[in-house]
Amino acid sequence: QLVLQAAGALAEGFGREHQRTAPALPAQTHRSGDHLRAHLRAIGERINAAPRKCLGFRSPREVLEEWLAEGAG
C-alpha cells in the first residue's frame, strides 16, 4: 500500500511538472476589439512557436509547415 501511494504521488507530480500554463489575459475590460484580437493572436503565435518534446523539439508551426510542404499527407 505504501509503495502504491508513493508511486501515485510521483506520477501526480510528474504530470504537474509537464503541464503548460496558459498565458494570462490582462484583467482590463476597456480593450478595443482590434486590440484584443491582436493580443490573442500574439499569445497564439508564442504558443505555436514553442518547441515541444513530443514533436522532436520542433514547434507546432514547424511541423505544420513541413506537413504542408509534403503535400498535406
> Does pLDDT of 12 surpass 80?
no
Tell the residue number behind the cell numbers 511541423, with chain if given: 63
DSSP state, residue 29: S
- The predicted pLDDT at position 15 comes to 52
Tell the residue number behind the cell numbers 511538472, with chain if given: 17
CA dihedral 32, 37, 40, 41 (to 10 degrees): -150
Say if CB 33 and CB 40 are below 8 A apart: no
Q: Which residue has the higher pLDDT, 3 or 10?
A: 10
Over residues 25-36, the mean pLDDT reads 68
d(CA 46, CA 12): 27
